[in-house]
Structure 1
């Protein structure tokens, strides 16, 4: 209606039968259904969404704005916006985030750390 571009558009897909050995750098949206041995890094300074499906396995670091996890990540994760851990998410590594949603059944073997440099996720109204 107001010509807003949908920030959650998936531009690229790594299919379930695909294995990648090496780093993956992307801009915009990426969905991973396969296996990546290497780091998955979104271009900084622009909106990004990374979807890691139930079949996906990532052995390496993950850096993106909005991250949706329902698969396996073996390595540290940094989300500059929102990370959604769905019920089959399995992360072995530290998770740094601005905002976090975690469903029942999701597992994190590592430290959860809120990005202290950002504004609080919840703002309370100040009384005058």
Structure 2
């Protein structure tokens, strides 16, 4: 009815065997580049880049750096810009300080954004200079 949405919900289980987890008490410092799925329950200080895959920041997860991936699901805290070239989902406990670049976005009541929203169309360039080799230093 009403042209039912045929897009799949973001699901980390579809990356079975290709999922990396940063555990609740873990504190990871450095950039991460991967293909598959990354679930962050702990803290990451650095940039996260996925050519193909999903980044999930859980309720207790904290990322200080940029996130660039096809699919991003946030229910924790992110201090930095986020680029989701396919799908961005913000759950009720999402707290983001940075700009969001997205193609499709879902946002649940309660999510908070301190930054600008930028729709990515086919002609829009992606975030410049975000790769796993770049610093997270703003100076």
TM-score, normalised via structure 2 length: 0.75
> Mind listing any 5+ residue stretches in structure 1 that lack a counterpart?
1-5, 119-128
Instruction: Identify which of 82, 85, 88 aligns with 2:90.
Output: 85
Deviations 1:53-85 (A, max 9, x none): 000000000001111100000000000110000
Q: Distance in 2 between matches of 1:30 and 1:71?
A: 14
Paired position in structure 1 for 2:101: 96
Q: Is the 8 A contact 1:8 1:49 kept in 2?
A: no
**Offset, 1:116:** 2.2
The correspondence of residues 104-119 of structure 1 with structure 2, limited to 5 A, is: 104-117=109-122
In the other structure, the counterpart of 1:57 is 62
Alignment partner, residue 9 of structure 2: none
- 2:78 corresponds to: 73
Q: Runs (4+) of structure 1 moved beyond 3 Å?
A: none
Paired residues, number: 110
Shift in Å at residue 112 of structure 1? 0.6
Superposition TM-score, scaled by structure 1 size = 0.81
Query: Which residue pairs with 1:12 in the alignment?
Result: 20
